[in-house]
Amino acid sequence: MVKGYEQERDQKATLTMNPKKFALWLFIVSIVMIFGSLTSAYIVRQSQGNWKVFEIPSMFMYSTFVLLLSSATIQWGLYNAKRDELKYTKIAIVTTFVLSLVFLFMQWEGWKQLVSNNIHFSFSNPSESFLYVITGLHAFHLLTGIIFIIIVLISTFKMEVHSKKLNQYEMCTTYWHFLDGLWLYLYIFLMFNR
């Protein structure tokens, strides 16, 4: 009887998930669905013709490296938080925040390159509009990630992030890695489907 109770208790323990983490994963799934439908619509519309082919701004490639570097710094911060190396955790989260702002600035510069190459958001050619919508929507979600980073940054400097209190930092890291992976997918998609 005791063995059966222990098994049932263990099963319940493995099936539970922090409700905030669960909500984050639902949010991530909804973002995947949005970008999945956008990239699908992109391919379908491209196959119908009247599609302007143009170069993806070189700034997008450079910004990709910056975003991947920010993923490494936030992961480094989580590693240090787990070890209660709070000095390095602070350095990591501040560095991630700065890199995220650099990425957004580089995206802006990429859009300026598009405009200088006469690529505009317009209804006359959907290829141009798709590019702005896809990259702009990602930038919007990245802003939500930056807000999350700011929240974690404040918590870190208040000494509220440490080995016994990692939930917020783990969620932020998960979301940030997701946004980085999403950008990598979008960049590769746009490079091969111009």
Residues of the chain with pLDDT > 90, as a percent, come to: 64
Q: How confident is the model at residue 128 (pLDDT cuts 50, 70, 90)?
A: confident
List the domains of the chain with CATH numbers.
Answer: 27-192 (1.20.120.80)
- Record the pTM: 0.86
pLDDT tens digits, 62-99 = 999 999 999 999 999 999 999 999 999 999 999 999 99
**Spatial distance between the Cα atoms of 39 and 135, rounded to a whole number of angstroms:** 11
Residues with Cβ within 8 Å of residue 73, at least 6 apart in sequence: 92, 95, 96, 99
For residues 38 and 134, is the Cβ–Cβ distance under 8 A?
yes
Q: Is 5 a residue whose pLDDT tops 70? A: no
The pLDDT of residue 162: 86
Residue matched to tokens 């990425």: 103
Mean pLDDT calculated for residue range 152-171:
91
For the chain, give the mean pLDDT: 89
DSSP state of 51: -
Q: Which of 181, 67, 182, 49 is nearest to 127 (CA)?
A: 49
Lowest mean pLDDT among 2-16, 34-48, 141-155: 2-16
